[in-house]
Amino acid sequence: MTETSRFIRYAHRVRRTRRTRYVLAAALTLTGLLFPAVSAVADSDVPAASAGPASAGAAAADGHIDPVDNRTDPAGWIADAEAQAAAAEAQASDDGQASDDGQVPDGAQAPDDAQAPDETGFPGTDDAATFPEDAAVAPRVFKGRGFDTCQAPDLATMRAWRASSPYRAVGIYFGGRARACKTQRNLTNNWVQQTTAAGWSLLPIYVGSQSPCVRGSNKNPFRIDPQRATAQGTSEGADAAKAAGALGMKRGSALYLDMEAYDLRKASCANATLSFVRAWDRQVRARGYVPGFYSSADSGIAHMEKARRAGTSDLPGAIWYARWGVAPTLTAEPVLRPSAWASHSRIHQYTGAVTETHGGHKLSIDRDLIDAPVAKL
């Protein structure tokens, strides 16, 4: 049985059991659309979101409680994935997606070497959690410290770093035509299985087509064609899901699109970039994965936040912002409002291109502070 057909059967089954809840939710949503004044918030350029968890609201500088925007909350993607079932049925059924084994999601696990919280308030070990929805598509969240490096390290290095470094998550460049380290000699299905079994959480990174006004000259050969931005985003989103599935990453895994710094002041360039990102997000989401987005805080992240405030749909479910030379923070990024990607949906890359040695193994890495979805196996 193909992945798509199983997904359709699952979605139809859930629809029957949750029909009453969805009808009510749809009615409330329609009420908000027809009578926006009822649900308006203090900042008129930010559309009101549906009520999230009891603790979801975040206080803005003026004391106003800015509700979490459910369009960018991974916990809300369960119902959305079900709504995408009809679209998924039209996709090619045998495209290498990860299989659904029906297992329950990874539960919160007590760390085996817990440490006292560090200066960021995070313990030195992982604090895994999952959203309390269906296991097939529910994201798995990692909270703690991680790193990313161009080439996936060999297993001996991963074992040494697991035993002696403060990191418990690692970014892996698993696909994309603009990927710098195209030959990932260590990154195999077996590597993914073994590192995960050893206690690592994985952050899958896809370096696809880049903005037409990308600043890095090494990315110029891979720029988005403004005339084909949506088509390219759709095609590359499908490729990302297929590549993730080939490595054993199940539905519910987060896949992070890497969009290097670009000049968002150029309207035509910004529009093409956003069209690409939204199409990539739609395709990744339709296949059961959580689309994430990595970029510099002052370009791509500021662009996504501007789109969020404007009410744009199909935005990333998690963001990974690069702002180097500052203290690591998941709450005080200047370009983001407190409500933006506030529910287990942020990663801060706070230092780049540093060399560290742990257990006798040296790597050049970027450092990350994480509270966001990771890969599921």
Q: What is the tens place of the pLDDT at every residue in 279-298?
A: 999 999 999 999 999 999 99
Classify burial at 151, counting beta carbons within 10 Å of its beta carbon; exposed 0-12, middle 13-18, buried 19 or more.
middle
Between the CA of residue 88 and those of 18, 79, 94, what are the distances in Å?
A: 20, 14, 12
AA letter at 177: R
Angle 90-91-95 (CA atoms, 0-180°, nearest 5)?
155
Residue with tokens 């952050």: 203
Please, which residues bridge with residue 58 across strands?
66
AA letter at 97: Q
* Mean pLDDT (whole number) for 352-356: 97
Global pTM value: 0.70
Between the CA of residue 176 and those of 58, 219, 235, 244, what are the distances in Å?
A: 35, 12, 11, 11
Say what the pLDDT of residue 62 is: 31
Q: What is the pLDDT of residues 130-156, one digit of tens each?
A: 333 455 678 999 999 999 999 999 999
Tell me the pLDDT of the chain averaged across its residues.
75
* Strands (E) located in the chain: 58-59, 65-66, 129-130, 140-148, 169-175, 201-206, 254-258, 290-296, 318-322, 346-358, 361-374
Contact 315, 304 (CB under 8 A): yes
Say what the pLDDT of residue 354 is: 97
Contact 347, 353 (CB under 8 A): no
* Mean pLDDT (whole number) for 27-49: 30
Residue 210 reports pLDDT greater than 60 = yes
d(CA 110, CA 1) in angstroms, rounded, equals: 36
Residue 268 reports pLDDT greater than 50 = yes
Q: DSSP for 67-105, please give it.
A: ---GGG-GGGHHHHHHHTHHHHHTS-S-S-PPP---PPP
Tell me which residue of 365, 288, 340, 307 sits closest to 321, measured CA to CA.
Answer: 340
